[in-house]
């Protein structure tokens, strides 16, 4: 008796290809989110400058504001739509 395994082999290859595409999509989405976080950080760095002479500058002022902007940009990434727009554009190009 001959058993036809071509359908099972085709299904296995399809699942591997689907898993590879899903993994690539996840990696691409992660990178586009990081790019959006970088963009947001640049905007926050410019907009959050405090050049007021009312409050004197401390030694760690730049460090704390940079850390704050890093945290804010990471938490806000994926919220503005830039990441999704870039993701869709790059996914079409594949």
| pLDDT tens per residue across span 12-48 | 555 666 677 889 999 999 999 999 999 999 999 888 8
User: What are the residue ranges spanned by the domains of the chain?
Assistant: 6-93
Q: What is the pLDDT of residues 61-81, one digit of tens each?
A: 888 888 999 999 999 888 889
Under the banding of pLDDT at 50, 70 and 90, the label for residue 1 is low
pTM beyond 0.75: no
Per-residue buried b or exposed e for 3-36, using 16+ beta carbons within 10 Å of the residue's own CB: eeeeeeeeeeeeeeeeeeeeeeeeeebeebbeeb
Q: For residue 62, give both structure tokens.
A: 């730049």
């Amino acid at each position: 008796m001959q058993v036809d395994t071509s359908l099972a082999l085709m299904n296995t290859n399809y699942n591997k290809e689907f898993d590879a595409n899903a993994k690539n999509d996840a990696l691409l989405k992660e990178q586009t989110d990081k790019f959006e976080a970088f963009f947001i950080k640049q905007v926050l760095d410019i907009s959050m400058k405090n050049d007021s002479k009312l409050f004197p500058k401390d030694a760690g002022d730049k460090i704390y504001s940079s850390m704050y902007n890093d945290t804010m940009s990471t938490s806000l990434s994926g919220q503005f739509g830039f990441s999704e727009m870039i993701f869709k554009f790059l996914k079409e190009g594949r």
